[in-house]
């Protein structure tokens, strides 16, 4: 069976984010008052799907939402954004995922996440959506749904001729069997450290971690390094892609912007090196705007930054 449709399929999470901005973070047992509250939408799966869609690609998100009020809000939001309703499963027993976030005046945060219905996305449910999940061109997934579901999706995607990308976030150790499944793996510094036991603090340690991941069975590794850009490692080859110079405001969802737009560029047939430039540009643009999905750049702004960079360079 071959992948028939030039689409990106994202299998992952969707959350409601409840954020309070406070002057300072509370101590244990303390109440800090006077903050501003905002309800917004997040989850790595939804963020990456919307990043890809905003960059101009047809996208299907497969996620599991509750039937609670937050689940209704999420469903309305994702459908209004143009994502297909038939990929959004509903759970009548468990509420939707929620992130509780406190952010202080210096941008530091405390976050607690209740995964809710995200952790109940089963292999059988993804299999029941087979005609949606495994007939696209590219499969993108993360680690906010059960590991067995992630492994199943990567294995089936590969069997169906899809290009498979694993963003191993949030970070956790993974088996070499799972690491060998995706065509591309895209950890950040923290995630690469957790996967390898090598503390990634710069380009040299990133290279060591990347080579370790190749030794564990990864085919192609892209380590995202924030202000240091990204490092691409394949057997016998290492290439560094510097970050685009921007003034950072909020790094939330920068990795999601990178992954979603990387998938878009690859869908369009760009070589991997060029796709990483696109992804770097998207990540850079996202940190200049506060918020998660609010900060995801449009195709036009990505192209403008790339053109400006080319003219300057």
Instruction: From residue 272, give the alpha-carbon distance in Å to each of 77, 207, 217, 278.
Output: 32, 18, 19, 10
Choosing from 36, 250, 256, 312, the catalytic residue is: 256
C-alpha span between 3 and 57 (Å, rounded)? 16
86 is an active site residue: no
CB burial readout 64-78, b (16+ within 10 A) else e: bbbbbebbeebbebb
Q: How many CA atoms lie within 13 A of 53 on its CB side?
A: 19
Q: What does the radius of gyration of the chain's CA atoms come to, in whole angstroms?
A: 19
Give Cβ neighbours of residue 222 (< 8 Å, ≥ 6 apart): 184, 185, 186, 230, 231, 232, 233, 262, 276
Catalytically annotated residues: 256
């Amino acid at each position: 069976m071959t992948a028939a449709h030039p689409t990106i399929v994202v299998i992952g999470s969707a959350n409601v984010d409840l954020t309070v901005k406070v002057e300072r973070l509370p101590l244990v047992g303390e109440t800090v008052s006077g903050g501003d509250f905002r309800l917004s939408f997040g989850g790595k799966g939804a963020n990456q799907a919307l990043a890809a869609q905003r960059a101009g690609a047809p996208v299907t998100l497969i996620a599991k939402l509750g039937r609670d009020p937050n689940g209704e809000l999420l469903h309305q939001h994702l459908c209004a954004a143009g994502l297909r309703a038939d990929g959004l499963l509903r759970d009548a027993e468990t509420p939707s995922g929620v992130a509780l976030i406190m952010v202080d005046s210096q941008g530091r945060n405390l976050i607690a996440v209740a995964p809710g219905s995200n952790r109940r996305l089963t292999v059988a449910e993804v299999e029941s959506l087979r005609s949606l999940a495994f007939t696209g061109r590219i499969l993108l997934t993360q680690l906010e749904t059960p590991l067995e579901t992630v492994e199943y999706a990567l294995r089936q995607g590969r069997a169906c001729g899809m290009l498979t990308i694993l963003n191993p976030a949030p970070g956790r150790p993974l088996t070499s069997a799972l690491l060998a499944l995706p065509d591309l793996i895209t950890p950040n510094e923290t995630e690469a450290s957790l996967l390898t036991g090598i503390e990634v603090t710069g380009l040299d340690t990133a290279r060591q971690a990347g080579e370790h991941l190749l030794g564990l069975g990864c085919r192609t590794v892209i380590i995202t390094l924030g202000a240091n850009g990204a490092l691409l490692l394949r057997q016998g080859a290492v290439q560094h892609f510097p970050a685009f110079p921007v003034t950072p405001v909020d790094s939330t969802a920068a990795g999601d912007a990178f992954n979603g737009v990387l998938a878009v560029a690859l869908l369009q047939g760009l070589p991997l090196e060029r796709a990483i430039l696109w992804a770097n540009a998207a990540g850079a643009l996202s940190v200049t705007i506060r918020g998660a999905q609010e900060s995801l750049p449009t195709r036009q702004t990505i192209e403008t930054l790339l053109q400006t960079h080319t003219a300057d360079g």
